[in-house]
Amino acid sequence: MIDIKLIRENRDLVKENIKKKFQDEKLPLVDEVFELDKKVREVQVKADTLKAEKNKLSGEIGKLMQQGLKDEAEEVKKKVANSNEEIKKLEEEQQKLSNEIKDKMMVIPQIIDESVPIGKDDTENVEVQRFGEPVVPSYEIPYHADIIERVNGMDKDAAGRTSGQGFYYLLGDIARLHEAMIAYARDYMIDHGFTYAIPPFMIHSDVVTGVMSFPEMEAMMYKIEGEDLYLIGTSEHSMIGKFKDQIIKREELPISMTSYSPCFRKEGGSHGLEERGLYRVHQFEKQEMIVICEPEESMEWYEKMWKLTVEIFRNFDIPVRQLECCSGDLADLKVKSCDIEAWSPRQKKYFEVGSCSTLGDAQARRLGIRAKGENGTYYLHTLNNTVVATPRGLIALIENNYQEDGSIKIPKALQPYMGGKTQIVPKK
């Protein structure tokens, strides 16, 4: 949610930003908010004037009573009562107008950074740089589900019986490799100064609407029936929510945390679910990172954060690239975002394994996350980034470490988490 001062003082900037995001249907909202805001302030002036008059009249009552002018005092009391009634009506009107403004402001997108490339959708995202040489071996790389099944590492049929499509059992060394990636990512982030956390896996609706837009929520979140609780789609939601309505001491900034959680997503619509594979599923696990910092430090943190993900995947012997998200691919709360994509030697192309975003003060403004400075309180900036999400990260690791004899080489970084094992071999 943007600062309403931008609409008061620079409507053209807000409209131009909406156009850059190819959301022209939202342009009328800017003028609507501008007019509603004018009405709110007019009502506020009327209410303040009435309150001042009421206070003056209230002071006269005592004087009139002291002078024995009881009838006159009663007349003034009636005026005070009428003022109270009028003030109440004005306050109700003001609240109604303010709610209208908030509903519209929640839909107006955050001002994107000047460096964001302009484009309509993810097909116009821009490759920035590559890390590691993408290799296509001379031998065939089977589909990841086939590789995993040959080492008895997965059972989707059983998961279909217990839970339905979009779920899976990971077994044996594959399950262990999956957890090794998460554990390595956790320790890597701790070694880089991030505080480790395991957050709640369910959150209230006011936290959900504080961290994401309503369309995102509808597309992603599972709601607990009969309760004001949602299953998280990423631990960023509950980690940012941890600081809701808090005034953080400046000496405690920046706050950098890394969190583990299972994640739950509907994953419906055009993408669908994979019957055999693990690329798009309802449930997965993730190591996340979040930062809350001073506004002037957010871009510096943004650069640090995505590079940490690159380093981890390179330690898994996986080539990756950074893809800058264009304006039309940015969620409404994001100022700037990039995807980290891993190389798929089977498909001979890259696929997304993580995303890094700075949201400016959008989440902080919705959730009331502030710090106190010399000139009063101000909103902080929030950032989030995927450290490792499995099983997508697992797919990338398996494909890039698949050997001609059907075995999977375990990267050196993960061998200590696998009991010293150096490879996973097919079962005869």
User: Per the domain annotation, does 76 fall within a domain?
Assistant: yes
Instruction: Give the per-residue pLDDT at 268.
Output: 54
Paired strand residues for 408: 402, 424
Q: 141 and 44: one domain?
A: no
Confirm if 144 and 395 have CB atoms less than 8 A apart: yes
Q: How many domains does the chain have?
A: 2
Helix, strand, coil shares of the chain, percent, nearest 5, are 45, 20, 30
* CB contact burial 165-189 (16+ within 10 A = b; e otherwise): ebbbebeebbebbbbbbbbbbbebb
The SS3 of residue 315 is helix
For the chain, the distance separating the N- and C-terminal CA atoms, rounded to the nearest angstrom, is 58
Structural domain boundaries enclosing 47: 4-105
pLDDT at 275: 62
Whether 187 and 150 map to the same domain: the answer is yes
Q: Are residues 77 and 190 in the same domain?
A: no
Q: Are 417 and 180 in contact (CB under 8 A)?
A: yes
pLDDT of res. 274: 53
Examine residue 115 and state whether it is found in any structural domain, yes or no: no
77 and 213 in a common domain:
no
Which 8-state DSSP code applies to residue 19? Answer: H
The label of the residue with tokens 């053209």 reads: 12
- Dump pLDDT digits (tens) for 106-142: 999 999 999 999 999 999 999 999 999 999 999 999 9
**Are 263 and 403 within one domain?**
yes
Cα-based angle 167, 170, 173 (whole degrees, multiple of 5): 165
Q: How far is CA 296 from CA 248, 330, 342, 380, 396, in A?
A: 16, 21, 31, 10, 35
Query: Is 113 inside a domain boundary?
Result: no
Indicate whether 112 belongs to any domain: no
CATH of the domain at 96: 1.10.287.40
Q: Which of 178, 320, 331 is nearest to 260 (CA)?
A: 178
- Say whether both 333 and 249 belong to one domain: yes
**387 and 308 share a domain?**
yes
Per-residue pLDDT, 207: 95
Same domain, 136 and 87: no
User: What's the Cα-to-Cα distance from 96 to each of 7, 40, 90, rounded to whole Å?
Assistant: 19, 9, 10
**Quick one: 70 and 154 in the same domain?**
no
Closest by alpha carbon to 263, among 364, 379, 150, 388?
A: 388
Is 54 within a domain?
A: yes
The last residue of one of the domains, among 57, 75, 105, is: 105
Altogether, the residues listed in the chain come to a count of 428
pLDDT at 72: 79
- The verdict on 201 and 308 lying in the same domain is yes
End-of-domain residue from the set 53, 75, 105: 105
Return the pLDDT at 56: 80
Measured from the Cβ of residue 28, the count of other Cβ atoms closer than 10 Å reads: 11
Tokens of 120: 């309509």
Output the six-digit token pair for 247: 């005034």
Judgement on whether residues 64 and 180 belong to the same structural domain of the protein: no
Residue segments in the chain with a per-residue pLDDT below the cut of 50: 269-272
In a domain? residue 269:
yes
Query: What CATH number should be reported for the domain holding residue 316?
Result: 3.30.930.10
- The answer to whether 323 touches 278, Cβ cutoff 8 Å, is no
Please report the pLDDT score of residue 272 as a whole number: 47
How many helices (DSSP H) and strands (DSSP E) are in the chain? 13, 18
Task: Let me know whether 49 and 187 are in one domain.
Answer: no
DSSP letter string, 128-196: EEEES-----SS----HHHHHHHTT-EEHHHHHHHT-TT--EE-HHHHHHHHHHHHHHHHHHHHTTPEE
> 347 in a domain, yes or no?
yes
Q: Is residue 117 part of a domain?
A: no
| Environment class of 279 (CB within 10 Å of its CB; exposed 0-12, middle 13-18, buried 19+) | middle
